[in-house]
Amino acid sequence: MEDRNTSNWDLVRKDYPGLERGTYVDTSSCGLIARSTEEAARKEQERLMMEGSARFMHWHGKGKADVVGLVARHVGGNASGMALLQNFTGGMARLAPMLKHRRKVLLVGGDYPTLHAPFKWNGFDIVAVEPAADGTIPMDVLAAAIQRERPQLVAISHVQWQTGFMIDLHALTELCRAHGTWSVVDITQSWCSVPIDLRRTPVDIVGSSGYKWPLAGFGNGFFHLSETVRTELSEKNGFDPIGALCEGHLDPIALVRLSDAVERSLAIGADAVRERLLQLCDLAVDQLQKAGVRVLNGTDPATRGGILIIEGDEKHLTKMREAGVQAQLRGAGIRIGIHFYNDEEDVERLVKALTSK
């Protein structure tokens, strides 16, 4: 990855050619790939084309290990607990059968389907709590459910895909540990938009895909298991859980994209990204509300990543797209996903597209 002057958001923005096509506020569906990331991937493809198995074997050893270490450093994890995978869905499907000795799992209604499905497929005893009417998931509701149901696992997304509500990870991990429950957290809608440090917030099991906020394209992701989890799973299943998760080949091109994207995120800094998203989302909330557009979810910065849900339907979304503004219908309205490559003019165009006659 080339050096970048990350203090200049305009310069960062120029590395994303997808922004030239219009106003992109849909990172919550799929992040845009940087021109430099694609260039790194193209160079790797050429090496594989010319060197064949010699280059492929590199990715069985040092190449893969370097990416493992990079991702572990980004989330404050340990390389020995890190498994690179094609996506969160595949990892969760592999992991769930290893957890079957912990039969009872607490889920949240409306959470991402591929977080729920592996527990259903594998016959877990499932109990669920429902979000409040405003989309929030109060910690006291989770605490009461854990106290009442005594689940052995709590599986939840850090940021909810239909509302953008962000759970307090630190409070969640403390709650789970107080009851001897493992936290299983999908950070696909928060990784690289919200600072995550497993040294300070020791989630037991955490995983993510790389195609949204990391901006790494498809075919890459990870799971991280704490030392306690690895030890228990090894004892209960008779094999190394990290080794089992890592079985099979990964696409070196996808790993190059992941590496380049994570290096960029580290270079910019998690706190700088968080501050940028807070500023842009606050601006969007303010301008949308002044224009008479209801913001259904995301007005509270403390429980928001980079997602807003605004009032609107297919008609409004069509109007936005005709004005060159890209987003999706999710939850109760239109989901807006704002990332560091967006700017104040994007917010202005979003508001204009929604309010113009």
Residues 169 and 118 in one domain: yes
Tens of pLDDT, residue by residue over 194-224, are 999 999 999 999 999 999 999 999 999 999 9
β-partners of residue 129 are: 108
- pLDDT over 90 percentage in the chain: 97
What is the crossing angle of helices 252-268 and 62-75, to 10°? 30
Confidence tier at 142 by pLDDT (50, 70, 90)? very high
Q: What's the whole-model pTM score?
A: 0.96
Mean pLDDT, all residues of the chain: 96
> Given a cut of 60, is residue 3 above it in pLDDT?
no
Residues 47 and 164 in one domain: yes
Task: Supply angle C-alpha 67, 69, 74, rounded to 5.
Answer: 95
Residues 23 and 172 in one domain: no
pLDDT, average across residues 180-205: 98
The pLDDT score that the predictor gives to residue 5 is: 41
Q: Would you say 149 and 179 are in contact if contact means Cβ atoms under 8 Å apart?
A: no
**Residue 223 maps to a domain:** yes
Which pair of tokens denotes residue 180? 């001897």
Which segments of 130-179 are extended strands (E)? 153-157
Give the CATH number of the domain where residue 118 resides: 3.40.640.10
Q: For residue 135, how many other CB atoms are within 10 A of its CB?
A: 19
Residues 203 and 108 in one domain: yes
Four-residue CA torsion sign, 209, 214, 217, 219: negative
Of 2 and 281, the one with more pLDDT? 281
The pLDDT score that the predictor gives to residue 2 is: 43
**Residue 1 maps to a domain:** no
Residues 220 and 235 in one domain: yes
Tens of pLDDT, residue by residue over 78-96, are 999 999 999 999 999 999 9
Q: What is the CA radius of gyration of the chain?
A: 20
Which pair of tokens denotes residue 55? 């280059």
**Residue 3 maps to a domain:** no
> Given a cut of 80, is residue 141 above it in pLDDT?
yes
**203 vs 226: CA distance, rounded Å:** 7
> Given a cut of 50, is residue 231 above it in pLDDT?
yes
**Which H or E run includes 342?**
none
DSSP string for residues in 27-46: TTT-PPPPHHHHHHHHHHHH
Q: Which domain holds residue 189?
A: 40-267
Confidence tier at 173 by pLDDT (50, 70, 90)? very high
Give the CATH number of the domain where residue 287 resides: 3.90.1150.10
> Given a cut of 90, is residue 123 above it in pLDDT?
yes
> Given a cut of 60, is residue 6 above it in pLDDT?
no
DSSP string for residues in 228-278: HHHHHHHHHHSS-HHHHHT-S---HHHHHHHHHHHHHHHHH-HHHHHHHHH
**58 vs 221: CA distance, rounded Å:** 19
Q: In the sheet that 205-209 helps form, which strands lie side by side, from edge to edge?
A: 82-85, 221-225, 205-209, 182-186, 153-157, 104-108, 125-129
Q: Which of 267, 300, 328 is the last residue of a domain?
A: 267
